[in-house]
Amino acid sequence: MLAFVKRFSSKRTKHPRGYEDPQVLASETPFTVNEIEALHNLFKKLSTSIINDGLIHKEEFLLALFRNSSMQNLFADRVFYMFDRKRNGVIEFGEFVRSLSIFHPHTPEHEKSSFMFKLYDLDGTGFIQRHELKKMVSALLSETDLGLSEECIEAIVEQTMVEVDTNKDGKIDEEEWKDLVAKNPAILKNMTLPYLKEVTLAFPSFVLDSEVDD
C-alpha cells in the first residue's frame, strides 16, 4: 500500500523539464509566488505554440515577440540567447522567469544595464567592440522605417565610440557603459515593462496580440 502511495505521489508531482518551484523563483526574483504561477500559464501557452514539449524554442520565441517564427534578426537572436542561460537552444521555465525578471520595474537599474551590456557584447569578451556596436545598431534600425544609409549608420557608430570610449582603447568596457547609461538613462527605457507588476491580472500584450492558438 505504501509503495502505491509513493508511486501515486510521484506521478502527481512530476513536472516538465526545466520546471522550478515557484517559491524558489519568488525568492530570487521580484515576482510573488502567485505572479510566477501566472507566468507559468503564459509559459505553457508559448511553449506549445509550435512544438508541444514544455520548452520555448527559438521559433516560438520569435512568433510571440514578432509574430514571425522564421524572422532573421540579430537583435532577436541576442534576446533569445540571453534568455537561454544554459545555452542548450531552448528556454526552460526557470530561465524564462529569471530573464523576464530583469524587465520588472523593481529590478535595480544596474542589473538592467549589465543585461543590456551583455546583449551588445556579441563575442562574449567582456567588451563591446566597434564591429559589435555597428551590428547591433544596424539590427535595431532595420526594425524601424528610418531607412538610414550605411554612411549614416557608420557616423552613429563613430560618434558613439568617440563619446563612450573614454580610455581610447577602441572598445567599450562595462565601466564606460555604466557612465553612458548614467548620462543617458533613457537607454534603459525598454528594459522596464510596467505590466510585469500586474501579471496576475493581464498577460503581456505581445501574447494577446499574437497569432498563437490556445
At residue 104, does pLDDT exceed 90? yes
Residue for cell digits 518551484?
A: 21
206/108: higher pLDDT? 108
What pLDDT score was predicted for residue 195? 85
Give the mean pLDDT of 58-81. 84
Name the pLDDT band for 1 (thresholds 50, 70, 90). low
Average pLDDT over residues 60-88: 86
Q: How confident is the model over 113-134, as a mean pLDDT? A: 96
**One-letter identity of residue 93:** F
The pLDDT tens digits of the residues spanning 158-193 come to 999 999 999 999 999 999 999 999 999 999 998 999
Least confident of 6-15, 31-40, 57-66: 6-15
- The residue ranges of DSSP E strands in the chain, in sequence order, are 56-57, 90-91, 128-129, 171-172
Q: How sure is the predictor about 75, in pLDDT bands with cuts at 50, 70 and 90?
A: confident
pLDDT for 10 beyond 50: no
Q: How far is residue 10's CA from residue 146's CA, in Å, rounded to a whole number?
A: 56
Share above pLDDT 70 across residues of the chain, in percent, rounded to a whole number:
84
Q: How far is CA 84 from CA 6, 49, 66, 134, 183, in A?
A: 34, 18, 18, 24, 30
Average pLDDT taken over every residue of the chain? 86
Beta strands in 113-196 (DSSP E): 128-129, 171-172
Per-residue pLDDT tens over the stretch 128-160: 999 999 999 998 887 777 778 899 999 999 999
Backbone angles phi, psi at 149, to 5 degrees: -75, 165
Q: What is the pLDDT of residues 188-208, one digit of tens each?
A: 998 999 888 887 765 544 443
Answer whether residue 209 shows pLDDT above 50. no
